[in-house]
Structure 1
């Protein structure tokens, strides 16, 4: 936990340093990388993939595991807001989470804790964090609570996460491809639609 706080202070200093100096940064369309998660129960390592679907909205898929008794998959929709510039923003959102998790049930009569693992769980994931995009790298710090719906005794669990992703598709490239597809659709419709006067022409 001490290491997590040290990294947080380093991340905060790095963000302020990047904002203070002129830098060229690319907004991303698609980014993929690793995510480190830390909670009271376990530390996890996983894969994070973000895809921009609207101007300030992304979808993020997170697969993470402690390689022992806890493995989770989350699919989140996230809304981004710039703090100082488009390359430094905060985001929030939510989605659904699935997993195989351990669970702790307190027995009030015997004053014991029953420990089980391998439980299939379903829950609601929320997320809030800050994100910095510099060149081809996206670095983020977030808090991701999970509200259990089925499969686990604990109703609520929280996790702090640090992600480092590589930009696979830049925002400009994604928008350019979208314009090309829209243009191709429009040109295709123009070719297939015949003038009304053609109905009266003799063949």
Structure 2
């Protein structure tokens, strides 16, 4: 067992080196998400957009192509673990969709299932994420609290996502700085005009 652990040390060192040197933080990333819970297995699309230094907005559309199709919008806060490319995140959001619902009848010991129910609810999310070689891989747990349309108040889901980095954070930051610079330049008052205005006020 000890020998196996010793052999794994170089692997982890290489992984962390790749993560720190070759990986890229992202401004925009999009890809696929696989979700799983007690009711269904879903395939979906996921996209993340960095809106602040450590904050992203994530949109998810997922379906089991049978009885459950949902859409989610989540605000997420990221915290680095080892580097900027390997982090954990948590957040909350809103969801809606069309889901199955199960009602238990104790008298007859039957479970009545209905589907096509219009639902909406509140999501929480917590996960870990690594960006390497222009790809972001994440593992998350996303509990959902139903507000209407479903009998079950709580449903949890484990998700694995793989996203391609579409816009790197450096590119996004550069564009943001250029816009801020152009705005300052546009609003800047020429020196002599500003001096004339001061003289007029006095």
> Structure 2 matches for 1:153-172, cutoff 5 A?
153-172=151-170
Cα distance in 2 for residues equivalent to 1:65 and 1:72 = 6
> SS of the residue aligned with 2:38?
coil
- SS of 2:88's partner is strand
Out of 149, 173, 182, the position equivalent to 1:151 is 149
Say which SS state the counterpart of residue 188 (structure 2) adopts. helix
TM-score normalised by structure 1 residue count: 0.86
Moved more, 20-29 or 166-175: 20-29
Within-5 A mapping of 1:17-166:
18-19=15-16, 23-166=21-164
169, 177, 180: which is aligned to 2:178?
180
Cα displacement string for residues 140-177 of structure 1 (whole angstroms, at most 9, x for unaligned residues): 00111101011000010011100000000000000000
Q: CA RMSD in A?
A: 2.2
- Structure 1 stretches lacking a partner, 5+ long: 1-13
Distance 1:195 1:64, change over 3 A: same
Higher alpha-carbon deviation: 20-29 or 57-66: 20-29
Secondary structure of the structure 1 residue equivalent to 2:98: strand
Greater CA deviation, 54-63 or 105-114? 105-114
Map of 1:5 onto structure 2: none
Q: Alpha-carbon deviation of 1:24? A: 1.6
Distance 1:17 1:112, change over 3 A: farther
Residues in 2 aligned to 1:16 and 1:143: alpha-carbon distance in whole angstroms: 27
Quote how far apart the aligned CAs of 1:25 are. 1.1
1: CA distance, partners of 2:190 / 2:150: 56
TM (norm. structure 2) is 0.86
The alpha-carbon deviation at position 110 of structure 1 amounts to 2.4
Q: Judging changes above 3 Å, is the alpha-carbon distance between structure 1 residues 17 and 114 closer, same or farther for their aligned structure 2 residues? A: farther
Closer/same/farther in 2, CA of residues 100 and 86 from structure 1, 3 Å limit: same
Extract unaligned runs of 5+ from structure 2.
1-10
From the superposition, tell whether residues 57 and 106 of structure 1 become closer, same or farther in structure 2 (CA, over 3 Å): same
